[in-house]
Structure 1
Amino acid sequence: MAGSANRFVSVDYEIFGDVQGVFFRQHTYDLACQIGAVGWVMNTAKGTVKGRVQGTLRQVEHMKQFLAHRGSPMSKITKYEFTNDKELVNLDYNKFSITAGDW
């Protein structure tokens, strides 16, 4: 990506497995804040966790590795999906947040 140093990326995600009731959202929030990524995370009615993360390519790749392979200490990730990868000129969010679930 030529000129990507001044660009941001965005990706949507959904994480499957034992990811609710195990502080998955909190650990996701903590890591995003620590590395400076922005976006959101929430529980879904079907027992998954989904959200969007935005930042530099390095920040987003770091979050994707966490979401797909690490999660919270008590979580068990069985499947993950990343969709809507795109490059951004400006971020859509100014912080990372835990939002209410889609009940």
Structure 2
Amino acid sequence: MGIPDIRLLVTLDFEVYGHVQGLNLTKDTRDRCTKTGITGWVKNSKQGTIVGKMQGPKEEVDKMITWLSTEGSPGCQIDRCEVRNQGNLSRLDYKDFAIRF
């Protein structure tokens, strides 16, 4: 894996709404992000949503947001995925992608 193009690193916060907890969505999100070089974190919120932060190559982050908006883990019924605090990065703030509790 080569060094990612610095200009294409992005950061964003996300929140997935719908029937999304208890269906391995946090684990599947972590596994997919780890595989594609995205760093950050994900967790279940008290409001019944999944929230997190992603940082990585724009193309991969965009793919993850599409997956979180439309597909998700088997059994999920996703209403929508909101993205906030989007921006560009010169370097990643996280070493890996973690599930938080």
Same fold (TM over 0.5): yes
Aligned CA RMSD, in angstroms, stands at: 1.3
Question: CA shift at 1:6, angstroms?
Answer: 1.7
**What SS is found at the alignment partner of 2:16?**
strand
Letter in 2 for 1:79: R
**What SS is found at the alignment partner of 2:30?**
helix
Letter in 1 for 2:70: H
Distance in 2 of aligned mates of 1:83 and 1:25: 18
For 2:62, the equivalent position in structure 1 comes to: 61
Q: How does 1:42-61 map to 2 (within 5 A)?
A: 42-61=43-62
For 2:80, the equivalent position in structure 1 comes to: 79
Deviation sequence 1:8-57 (CA, Å, 0-9, x none) = 10010000001001111011011001111110000000100000001011
What is the aligned residue count? 97
Letter in 2 for 1:49: I
**What SS is found at the alignment partner of 1:14?**
strand
Letter in 2 for 1:29: R
TM-score by length of 2: 0.91
List 4+ stretches of structure 1 deviating above 3 A.
Answer: none
**How much identity, in percent, do the aligned residues show?**
36
Letter in 2 for 1:86: G
Unaligned runs of 5+ in 1: none
Letter in 1 for 2:99: I
Distance in 1 of aligned mates of 2:34 and 2:15: 19
Q: 8 Å contact 2:37–2:57 — kept in the other structure? A: no
